[in-house]
A and B are shown apart, each in its own frame.
Chain A
């Protein structure tokens, strides 16, 4: 694809990403039994779960939580590639994978590198490629980050890496409600 075409596509892609992640992070949050929960407050944290991201799998491969529980996830990327830790339903992950595929196609996401500068770029209409949803962290090798998340009632949730191909290779795990 030539450069002109690429640039022309960029705003459309940004729009898609922001609306998509909004749905993933916020919309899904208040629909009764479909609720994925919401960003939690530090003072409510009941425990910390360490999650290690390897190429291309998690340790542990499943996580147990209680309805209403607030958990601090301390996530480290010990692999050699970029990985994501994202809390959501299988459908949300699927939608997010399409967005991340576009990030790869436009050079924002390389195998072991995230072009943060390009992600931060202001496209003039309030959109950027920021990957800053509260339910997700996208990390380069060697990074460690935290997510504090308050779960709602029991529902079918997965934690997953939506870097293209990683989910399909098996980089996801179940969140079981006790």
Chain B
């Protein structure tokens, strides 16, 4: 069975290698048909392994469901009791050994299904979205690599193996966000994403080292079973938290995620739903016993989540770019998961992770359809699309309903699970987190309603753009997108709608009291926005924020603050270093060279080629030596 796990991870990797190396193999002499050939081949390379991986994952889930009960009483032990683990080899490093281990258990399979399904949907969707894109082969190969890396994180049985996947994801996010690197802003966003997540990864790596050296091994089971002193554990988990905050875009490392919208829309779906940001939450869930044994870390996580969810939701309310609305909502929803983890319920966090993955991927794919149609990212350019895009309208309505937490969509159940977990939490910060979560529910309803209404209702504001700016989307053609793009959205709408029912059928109980409260709050937020919109459909309902709107739109100036506090001083320092290098270090080197030349110029005055002068010097020296020999002896 472990071979199946390895295949699930390696198939997308092989697809990436094939996509990078083989798409243009032998197409040179095809002339004009070479580009379509490469495109078709890349599409096959992308979709078939992803589909096989998905099928294998489903098979693996079935096998685990019927497996022996070897779990340690974690939340998935009733549903998916089986587990497999296989070690390829153990690398002796001299101190702490690294074992190349893969493992699959209920948690892995839950996340793995999410990853492969979303990845498959994104690959199919990209075939239509990236048509006429000359770099489609490398794009699809990077998506495959991204998927493979995330699957490696999910199925890793060793912290170092996990870290490998973690880092490859960072690389892939850089490559894909900067896909349209011709535009300077896009490459800047890619660099920003890379640097910010790297910053967290430093902490993550050191956290792994602390855990590994304390436990005497990097195997996750060994680490979780080891008897690690509490102080060490707190330090290690806090360090890990830095990496989690970087990857999952939590405060204070959240700034890269909205800028990552510079990438193609399917990439946003992939990053926001299945891979990158899910990895942070997944790692916490994977190492949850260690985090549970370190309550200070959970308190920090709770505060971070409380600040992040409300702030990001408010920022989402004020954005005009549809993709940025969704980006801030991702930060906010990830903060919910973090809050659930902080409150002690990894079950709620994983439930929300999966349902959020489904509906956020759906939302991004639908946003891509809308943008594909309108030719602009800005909500103020949209409106009245309900009739032009019926399929998109209905699927996106499901997505927004799930996002706002309206029954019977999946978001209602998972968010309820999170909120009741937070309510039952015992940490010192829990009341604060709970208040923040409830408030955020209201704001979420408000911004979901705003985006929905502004996009699909009201007067049409479409202005067919003659020449779309590079890297945005395609020319307006008045029709809905091709079916290869509609199908993934339609398929994803099913889990987005029904996953909650499935979850409750699988044993997640709904606590109707808090559910009713949060539903009321969400409806209140949505209702306020609806009332405002109703009063003046042309105007942005975000005006309800009043003077608070501009700070929200600028995400509370966090970017500006980072620029002023960190980026600019570091740049100044770097310039100073460069100047010092040029003036002092290079100056010393060049100066010594010049001084040597000057001195040698002085010396070479004697070497002027006049043999008489040479002989004069020779004889003078001879006389001096003779005199010295006489005088000194």
Q: Do A and B come from one complex?
A: no
Measured CB to CB, the residues of A under 8 A from B are none
Q: Residues of B at under 8 Å CB distance from A?
A: none
